């Protein structure tokens, strides 16, 4: 510009002949300079816009490349369990990615504008724009992969955690059940009944937990495989993998959802993959998932299921053991009850009450045989022995019933004999009353009564004696029948009472018979005495009459002597009769005292 100004200052010094040509040339030169200056300014603006665009694109490409490297390098194997931290990082990246979307849109608009303005570096702009677009789409595809891996790995680790919790819970439950519900025949019945109730609640929990286990088994079939993602887990053979996103390179093209073959996993971040079309290439492992079945997860769920079955089997066995011991206690109680029955017990029972107890015993036996069928506490021999005990108890009851019939028959016979003895006693009472009334002490005036009265008394007493003989004979016949009954039924409960009553009746009959015999003899003796007394009185009256005839004393000596001799003879006769009177007096006194 300074050169043009200097040339313009020389224009006045140019000769007139050349001034026109000089001015024209200078004008052209100035015009060219202006055009050059304008083009230079445009080029500068283009360079500045290109620099700004390329710088911004480079910055975004660096960010995208960093995200790419970060996601490709992330360890998605089973050794990295911290999915929560990864989810937080990914969420932050997604937020930043969303913010970058406007920047990307602005850069694409800038690239389109520059290309539309026919920017000198149009190809460069298009190349950067395409690279940015491609990298953006690739990172977006990686986000799809990350989301899928987060979902799959979270499910995997949650499954493994739930499986461990399940095994731990079942192991603890197994120990608790074994510790709490193990019993033996010495366990208290009341405690076992409470434990049976508790065990049913435990079973409800186990049944409810079965749905959790079923869910775990179902989830095991959907869990992806993470072990092949570890470089330490070398493949023994190729395994199928599934593409999570689209992947396109010169040597291979893979579409989302296609099933490929993993041939080599020796590098954790890149796998040697065979596409459905047969092409081989090294592809980032993040683009693939190793689909189910996961044998490790299935085996884990299977172990949990087997442990659940063991716990259920343990619960069932211990529950059966407790139930069998409870049934055994109830059965023993009923066996003891029936075995301890006596004849009095059976006789006090009503038939319905007795049958109810026997039915309950048989029902308890049925329950025990059913409950102890799978019990480990009772052998087959013990079960047969208990059946034998029940049969013995039932036979004991049957024997008691037979004995009761026999006893009732014996008691009927005994009551019949006792009734006969009662009749005998009534007759003895009547006879005793008549006898005692006859032998009551009588006034002395009656002892000298009429002989005919004594004859009547003797006749009545002989009749009474005859009745006693008949009664004694009847009692003898009854006694023989009773003795035969005693010999046939020596253990009958009615024997002692009947024997006592019989002995009393026999003794009483003998006593009355003896007393009656003595009394009859006394009566006969009294009759003899009375006859002797009458004869003695007759003699006395005879001598009294004789003496009364001699009421005057004779005058002459001879008559007096004769009277004296007569009196002496009478006196001698009386003296001869004195011993008779003395014996009669003694006998009378003796008989009066006896009567």
CATH number at residue 464: 1.20.58.60
CA distance 513 to 467: 10
Please write down the HEC assignment for all residues of 425-483: HHHHHHHHHHHHHHCCCCCHHHHCCCHHHHHHHHHHHHHHHHHHHHHHHHHHHHHHHHH
Is 503 inside a domain boundary?
Answer: yes
Q: Which long-range contacts (CB under 8 A, 24 or more apart) does 96-99 make?
A: 97/67, 97/139, 97/140, 97/143
The per-residue pLDDT for 550 is 60
The per-residue pLDDT for 34 is 75
CA distance 367 to 358: 14
Is 362 inside a domain boundary?
Answer: no
Q: Determine contact, residues 312/206, Cβ cutoff 8 Å.
A: yes
- Could you give the 3-state DSSP secondary structure of residue 270? strand
Q: What is the CA radius of gyration of the chain?
A: 73
Is 560 inside a domain boundary?
Answer: yes
For the chain, residues with pLDDT lower than 70 are 1-15, 17-19, 26, 30, 33, 37, 39, 42, 440-451, 454, 526-537, 539-540, 543-544, 546-555, 570, 574, 576-595
Tokens of 260: 């490929």
Tokens of 304: 């949990």
CA distance 58 to 45: 19
Is 586 inside a domain boundary?
Answer: yes
Is 468 inside a domain boundary?
Answer: yes
CA distance 85 to 291: 24
Total domain count, the chain: 1
- Could you give the 3-state DSSP secondary structure of residue 252? coil
Tell me, rounded to whole angstroms, the distance of Cα 460 from its chain centroid. Answer: 87
The per-residue pLDDT for 444 is 45
Is 415 inside a domain boundary?
Answer: yes
Q: Determine contact, residues 135/61, Cβ cutoff 8 Å.
A: yes
Q: What is the end-to-end Cα distance of the chain in Å, rounded?
A: 200
Upstream peptide bond of 382 is cis (omega within 30 degrees of 0):
no
CA distance 89 to 397: 86
Cα angle 253, 257, 259 (rounded to 5 degrees) comes to: 75
Q: Determine contact, residues 357/337, Cβ cutoff 8 Å.
A: yes
Is 519 inside a domain boundary?
Answer: yes
Cβ-based neighbours of 414, under 8 Å, separated by 6 or more: 485, 492, 494, 495, 497, 498
Is 568 inside a domain boundary?
Answer: yes
Domain residue limits at 443? 411-594
Rounded to 5 degrees, what are φ and ψ at 543? -70, -35
The per-residue pLDDT for 591 is 53
Q: Determine contact, residues 230/78, Cβ cutoff 8 Å.
A: yes
């Amino acid at each position: 510009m300074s050169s043009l100004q200097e040339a313009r200052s020389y224009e006045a010094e140019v000769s007139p002949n050349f001034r026109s040509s000089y001015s024209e040339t200078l004008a052209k030169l100035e015009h060219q300079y202006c055009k050059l200056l304008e083009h230079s300014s445009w080029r500068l603006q283009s360079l500045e816009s290109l620099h700004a665009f390329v710088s911004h694109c480079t910055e975004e490409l660096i960010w995208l490349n960093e995200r790419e490297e970060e996601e490709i390098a992330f360890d998605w194997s089973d050794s990295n369990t911290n999915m929560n931290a990864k989810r937080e990082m990914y969420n932050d990246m997604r937020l930043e990615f969303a913010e970058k979307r406007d920047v990307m849109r602005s850069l694409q608009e800038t690239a389109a504008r520059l290309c539309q303005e026919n920017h000198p570096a149009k190809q460069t702009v298009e190349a950067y724009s395409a690279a940015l677009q491609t990298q953006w789409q690739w990172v977006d595809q990686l986000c799809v992969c990350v989301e899928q891996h987060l979902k799959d790995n979270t499910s995997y680790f949650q499954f493994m955690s739930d499986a461990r919790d399940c095994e731990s819970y079942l192991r603890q439950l197994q120990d608790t059940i074994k510790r709490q519900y193990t019993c033996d025949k010495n366990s208290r019945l009341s405690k076992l009944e409470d434990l049976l109730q508790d065990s049913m609640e435990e079973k409800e929990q186990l049944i409810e937990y079965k749905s959790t286990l079923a869910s775990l088994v179902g989830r095991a079939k959907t869990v992806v495989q993470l072990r092949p993602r570890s470089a330490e887990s070398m493949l023994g053979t190729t395994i199928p993998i599934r593409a999570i996103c689209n992947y396109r390179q010169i040597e291979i093209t893979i579409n989302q959802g296609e099933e490929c073959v993993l041939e080599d996993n020796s590098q954790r971040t890149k796998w040697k993959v065979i596409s459905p079309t047969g092409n081989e290439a090294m592809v980032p492992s993040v683009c693939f998932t190793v689909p189910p079945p996961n044998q490790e997860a299935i085996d884990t769920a299977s172990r949990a299921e087997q442990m659940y079955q063991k716990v259920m089997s343990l619960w069932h066995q211990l529950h059966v053991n407790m139930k069998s011991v409870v049934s055994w206690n109830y059965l023993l109680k009923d066996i003891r009850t029936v075995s301890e029955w006596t004849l009095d017990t059976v006789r006090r029972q009503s038939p319905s009450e007795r049958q109810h107890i026997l039915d309950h015993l048989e029902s308890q036996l049925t329950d025990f045989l059913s409950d102890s069928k799978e019990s480990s506490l009772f052998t087959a021999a013990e079960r047969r022995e208990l059946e034998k005990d029940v049969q013995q108890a039932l036979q004991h009851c049957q024997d008691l019933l037979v004995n009761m019939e026999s006893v009732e028959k014996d008691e009927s016979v005994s009551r019949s004999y006792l009734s006969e003895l009662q009749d005998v006693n009534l007759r003895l009472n009547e006879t005793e009353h008549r006898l005692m009334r006859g032998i009551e002490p009588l006034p002395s005036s009656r002892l000298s009564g009429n002989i005919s009265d004594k004859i009547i008394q003797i006749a009545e007493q002989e009749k009474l004696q005859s009745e006693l003989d008949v009664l004694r004979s009847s009692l003898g016949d009854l006694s023989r029948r009773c003795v035969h009954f005693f010999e046939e039924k020596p253990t009958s409960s009615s024997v002692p009472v009947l024997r006592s009553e019989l002995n009393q009746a026999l003794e009483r009959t003998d006593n009355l018979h003896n007393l009656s015999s003595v009394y009859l003899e006394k009566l006969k003796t009294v009759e003899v005495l009375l006859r002797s007394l009458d004869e003695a009185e007759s003699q006395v009256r005879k001598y009294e009459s004789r003496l009364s005839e001699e009421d005057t004393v004779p005058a002459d000596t001879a008559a007096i002597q004769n009277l004296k001799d007569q009196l002496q003879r009478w006196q001698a006769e009386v003296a001869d009769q004195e011993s008779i009177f003395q014996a009669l007096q003694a006998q009378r006194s003796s008989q009066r005292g006896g009567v």
